[in-house]
Structure 1
């Protein structure tokens, strides 16, 4: 980001976080985040609400310059699912970074969910709450039943709808960019979108606008009817959806393709995901069955006797190869995360699932419009 852009973003976050209600000196935050180019101002804003004890970047989305900037001011630690599926490892990490402190956990993808009860029970400090950003993570926390602390989710917020729509567009952009590196294009290919949630529906509409024939498969019959109502062909089964598709976009966040599904891909099909491979694709079942060869940057051909397909970005979210940019709309979501973090940091929120009040969302939207809407466009 250019200096003036960073300065404007800092001003925006200062306006968002200015509440006049500082938290106690013994309160800290741990932040899981996509450490992209625009993230340092956001982390500084978190630090104004409650001092940041540690930053855990999602490993597949780290911008080097942003990592250097954040690393100069904060402890930056390695993030892995293993660290937060083992209660002993998770507790040891919290004790290392925030022993005896009250802590707010900022999450992207439900990393803290498997050990949240243990953390609340064993940590020498106090877990004030969790703020979750994604739909995938939102579902992981819902699976806990009644959580042992406050859990805020912005995944289904109205302020996130613009981001979800634009993320779908960025996924299609990056997918086509990788295909073009091999001399292929999207138009003329049949595409299948697996999952018709917020991202899947955006991907389907974007592909349709590019002249691509789109088939949708969703195991949820309600979403299948929604796809049909929007004019998409809806496959009755996953094998039927995959059989003739030259491009398959996986957007479930919950293992869109398992081992037996890969053999059902059409020869020469491209396969792309909207999230990490561990959440979307059961790739380890292909070891020893398919040979892998790099045929272009971020494009791997999987080949076995009589069958081959192309995997993009090693099965991880393709849009992060090109910055995953959704413009200034991401700052709406980040501001709501900050508002939720401030509520957790107050220490006054009961255990359970919570949303940021509508009044807070309206205030955020008004501040955002004042900072990022073109002059004269908003009255």
Structure 2
């Protein structure tokens, strides 16, 4: 980013932080993708909370962004699913950074969910609640038997719709770029899209615009009817869809391909995801007869007698290979995260799933337009 772009972004988040600043700032722990523009968002978080640690998602860390955040004086700790899968370890970690404080947990993907009960019960301070950014994480919290604190989700906010649409475009860009690096193209190929939510539907439309014949598979019958109404073929079952696809894109946020599904892939098929391999792909369930070979940058061939396919970016979110940029629209969602943090700091929310108010969303949109509708 150029200097004037950084200044505009800092001014935008400064204005948002000033509008939503709580009377007393809670401590916070921030899980985030550490992309090039992210330091301004981190500074925004520090404007409405006392930021105790940034936990970058390990497969999307931009070196210069990390350097800037450390230079700003923020602690950066190593993130893993294991850190919060063990309640004892999770409590020790939060205690070490925020003992006795009121704490807001800012999440991307439901990392805190496995230990949330223990954190709320055993932490020496108070867990005010969680802010969750993704659909995958939203479901992880919603699926808990009983939430011990409020969770404010921005995953289904209308302010996230532009991001989801544009992420779909970036997801298609990256597999096409990797295919072209091997002298291959998308046009005229067949694709199977797992999941027809906001991301999956955007991916399907973008593939269609590039001359790809698209089939959709979704376990939700309502979404299957939506796909049909938009002109896409709908696979009756997983097996039928897999055997005819040159490209398989997984956009469910849950398990899309089990180990036994991979042998059903068409020879030479490409497989890519929009989240991570641990969510979408059961790679450890693949038959041991497959030999792996890196045949190009971020392209791995799985080969056995009579069958082979290509896995892109090791099964991790393919669009992060090329920056995963959605332009300034991402700043709408980040501003809503700041507003959600303040909502939790003010208290009064019962344990359960919540959203910020339409009034706050309108204020965020109006502020964003002042800075980015130029």
Q: Which TM-score applies when normalising by structure 1?
A: 0.97
User: Cα deviations across residues 135-186 of structure 1 (Å, max 9, x unaligned)?
Assistant: 0000000011431111000000000001000000000001100111101110
Describe how 1:134-283 pairs up with structure 2 within 5 A: 134-283=134-283
Q: Distance in 2 between matches of 1:369 and 1:227?
A: 32
Cα drift, residue 289 of structure 1: 2.3
2:34 aligns with: 35
1:313 aligns with: 313
Determine if contact 1:23/1:50 at 8 Å carries over to the other structure: no
Cα drift, residue 285 of structure 1: 1.5
Q: Which TM-score applies when normalising by structure 2?
A: 0.98
Determine if contact 2:20/2:342 at 8 Å carries over to the other structure: no
Describe how 1:41-80 pairs up with structure 2 within 5 A: 41-72=40-71, 73-80=73-80
Cα drift, residue 119 of structure 1: 0.3
Determine if contact 1:271/1:312 at 8 Å carries over to the other structure: yes
Q: Distance in 1 between matches of 2:324 and 2:20?
A: 34
Cα drift, residue 286 of structure 1: 2.1
Q: Distance in 2 between matches of 1:254 and 1:357?
A: 29
User: Are residue 298 (structure 1) and residue 298 (structure 2) matched?
Assistant: yes
Determine if contact 1:57/1:79 at 8 Å carries over to the other structure: yes
Cα drift, residue 217 of structure 1: 0.8
Could you say if the C-alpha distance between residues 51 and 287 of structure 1 is closer, same or farther in structure 2, counting changes exceeding 3 Å?
A: farther
Cα drift, residue 21 of structure 1: 4.8
User: Are residue 325 (structure 1) and residue 296 (structure 2) matched?
Assistant: no
2:362 aligns with: 362
Determine if contact 2:242/2:264 at 8 Å carries over to the other structure: yes
User: Cα deviations across residues 105-153 of structure 1 (Å, max 9, x unaligned)?
Assistant: 0000000011101100000110001000000000000011431111000
* 3-state DSSP of counterpart to 1:148: coil
Q: Distance in 1 between matches of 2:116 and 2:133?
A: 16
Q: Distance in 2 between matches of 1:20 and 1:63?
A: 28
1:377 aligns with: none
User: Cα deviations across residues 278-318 of structure 1 (Å, max 9, x unaligned)?
Assistant: 00000112262210001110000000111000000000000
Determine if contact 1:23/1:49 at 8 Å carries over to the other structure: no
Segments of 5+ residues of structure 2 without an aligned counterpart are: none
Q: How many residues align?
A: 373
User: Are residue 111 (structure 1) and residue 111 (structure 2) matched?
Assistant: yes
Q: Distance in 2 between matches of 1:338 and 1:20?
A: 7
Q: Distance in 2 between matches of 1:239 and 1:291?
A: 23
User: Cα deviations across residues 230-254 of structure 1 (Å, max 9, x unaligned)?
Assistant: 1001110000001011111011111
Determine if contact 2:22/2:345 at 8 Å carries over to the other structure: no
C-alpha RMSD over aligned residues: 1.1
